[in-house]
């Protein structure tokens, strides 16, 4: 049986409706791809707690996790990734990239113009539809 790894992707939204996408470093696995900040759920953590902790670690800022917006299963060679997308509200005025090469605040309706991991596509399509309403 394959190990299941739970991951949270934090979709950070500003008051103007734009969301934050960050660019993975080229040296990382699946490098030079856009993503939402996030990481592995630690024992005893909720998805909201994971989102807030990971954003604090990766961007040195605070967000408020408010809603789970979707889930994607990705089967890898040696494990199954369960990626929980959590909407977070931007509460800070600045941040520092500690693990990524670049960032962009993008309108939801333009999210598919960025090169994310292919497995994220169903979630991105949902986010894009929400933005074009």
Look-up: residue for tokens 């990239």?
97
For the record, the structure tokens of 41 come out as 């759920």
Residue length of the chain: 133
112 band by pLDDT with thresholds 50, 70 and 90 = very high
Could you list the residue range(s) of the whole structural domain that residue 99 is in?
3-131
Where are any strands of DSSP class E within 1-133? 3-13, 19-24, 34-35, 38-40, 63-75, 79-90, 100-106
pLDDT in tens, 28-42: 776 789 999 999 999
CATH value at residue 110: 3.90.79.10
Confidence (pLDDT) at 91: 82
Say if CB 35 and CB 12 are below 8 A apart: no
Question: What is the tally of structural domains in the chain?
Answer: 1
For the record, the structure tokens of 111 come out as 């999210």
pLDDT in tens, 49-96: 999 999 999 999 999 999 999 999 988 888 899 999 999 999 877 899
Angle at 14 between CA 9 and CA 15, to 5 degrees: 145
- Whole-prediction pTM: 0.91
Say if CB 78 and CB 3 are below 8 A apart: yes
Pick from 9-13, 90-94, 108-112: least confident: 90-94
């Amino acid at each position: 049986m394959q190990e299941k790894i739970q991951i949270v992707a934090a979709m950070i939204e500003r008051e103007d409706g734009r969301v934050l996408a960050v660019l993975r470093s080229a040296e990382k696995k699946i490098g030079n791809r856009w993503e939402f900040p996030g990481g592995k759920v630690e024992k005893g953590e909720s998805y909201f707690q994971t989102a807030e902790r990971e954003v604090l670690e990766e961007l040195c800022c605070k967000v408020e996790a408010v809603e789970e917006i979707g889930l994607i299963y990705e089967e890898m060679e040696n494990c199954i990734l369960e990626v929980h997308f959590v909407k977070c509200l931007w509460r800070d005025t600045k941040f520092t990239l500690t693990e990524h090469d670049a960032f962009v605040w993008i309108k939801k309706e333009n999210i598919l113009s960025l090169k994310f991991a292919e497995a994220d596509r169903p979630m991105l399509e949902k986010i894009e539809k929400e933005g074009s309403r």
